[in-house]
Amino acid sequence: MRPFAVVAAIAWTAGASHVAESAQPAYQVNDAHFHLTNYVQEGTDIRDLLRIMGDRVGRVALSGIPLQQTWSYRNTGNFAPTYYLQTDSPLYYYSFTVAHIAMAYLSLPEHDRARFDPMITGFNPADMYGVDHIKRVLRTFPGVFTGTGEFTIHKEFVRPIENQLELLERALSDPASAHVSIDISWMETAKYIVATPETTRRVAQTINRFPDRFLLGTDEVASTDQASYLQIYDVYQPLFAQLTPEASEKLRKGNYERLFDEARRRVRAWEKANVK
């Protein structure tokens, strides 16, 4: 079985069942994983993103890229890398990305803000001072952020893992992991899931067995048009076709709304108690 990506954008949630009014039934999908900027902190204007979302995407978990790519002349000369696989030069945590996301969000009118769930990133998740970064951001931009993520600890690569689906099902069956959801975004993940009819069938079987535990996102970076932005949605059509109606709706929309609505509620409650 091929790799899944464990959900990288973490919403502060207790698994409530409320469904947001802001995501209309006409939308086909909510995007649990999108980056407004790339590895050199350039990206899409948020108003252009609304146009790209159109009437197909209801809500988006919005983050920057937590890392900045170093441009080392020793490594790539005059070539300026914009993606981490284009160079061996290191990445470094870029905390200003949260301010960029916050200001983009605040530039929108209220009814458009409801379609976004900004995420806090740009810090080392292995650093025990990271929690101070989160609190600092919430105090600086109250009413903006919904959760934290994505996180990056090192340059990641997809590798097949033997018996991965069995390991995943074991984790999902463990009551101690009841708070964990799985993010099946990123084209590198999708291409393995739909690689053969058998892999698609087995993944669909798992999602049907655990319909409350999976989220769909694009993991697209600084998209410029709807076709490229939603390419993963089109690639996953064979998977959707094998899901029960309940599992399909929860994967595409319902689980996002349940988790992120509760996350919004919790963050606003924390701000009310802690922000003067």
What confidence tens digit (pLDDT) does each residue in 25-80 have?
A: 589 999 999 999 999 999 999 999 999 999 999 999 999 999 999 999 999 999 99
Nearest in space to 137 (alpha carbons), one of 267, 14, 31, 47: 267
The pLDDT value given to residue 154: 65
Percent of the chain whose pLDDT exceeds 70? 88
Cβ proximity of 150 and 185 under 8 Å:
no
The pLDDT value given to residue 140: 98
Is it the case that residue 255 has pLDDT exceeding 70? Answer: yes
Give the model's confidence band at 13: pLDDT under 50 very low, under 70 low, under 90 confident, else very high: very low
Residue of 115 and 17 predicted with greater confidence = 115
β-sheet bridge partners, residue 243: none
Whole-angstrom Cα distance, residue 152 to residue 207?
26
Give the model's confidence band at 275: pLDDT under 50 very low, under 70 low, under 90 confident, else very high: very high
Is it the case that residue 1 has pLDDT exceeding 50? Answer: no
Is it the case that residue 152 has pLDDT exceeding 90? Answer: no
Cβ proximity of 230 and 33 under 8 Å:
no
How many CB atoms lie under 10 A from the CB of residue 163? 9
Is it the case that residue 19 has pLDDT exceeding 50? Answer: no
Q: Is 250 left (phi over 0), alpha (psi -120 to 50) or beta?
A: alpha
Is it the case that residue 179 has pLDDT exceeding 80? Answer: yes
Beta strands in the chain (DSSP E): 5-6, 10-11, 29-35, 57-63, 67-69, 91-93, 116-120, 147-148, 182-183, 214-215, 220-221
| Average pLDDT score over residue span 128-138 | 97
The pLDDT value given to residue 3: 39
Whether domain 5-274 has CATH 3.20.20? yes
The pLDDT value given to residue 14: 40
156: amino acid identity, one letter: E
Mean pLDDT of the chain: 90
What confidence tens digit (pLDDT) does each residue in 196-248 have?
A: 999 999 999 999 999 999 999 999 999 999 999 999 999 999 999 999 999 99
Could you identify the residue written with the tokens 């993606």? 83
- Structural element, H or E, at residue 63: strand 57-63
Could you identify the residue written with the tokens 């990506």? 5
| Least confident window among 6-20, 96-110, 155-169, 206-220 | 6-20
What confidence tens digit (pLDDT) does each residue in 182-194 have?
A: 999 999 999 999 9
CA distances from 150 to 57, 63, 159, 210 (A): 20, 7, 20, 23
Maximum Cα–Cα distance for the chain, whole Å? 56
The pLDDT value given to residue 155: 59
| Average pLDDT score over residue span 16-27 | 52
Percent of the chain whose pLDDT exceeds 90? 82
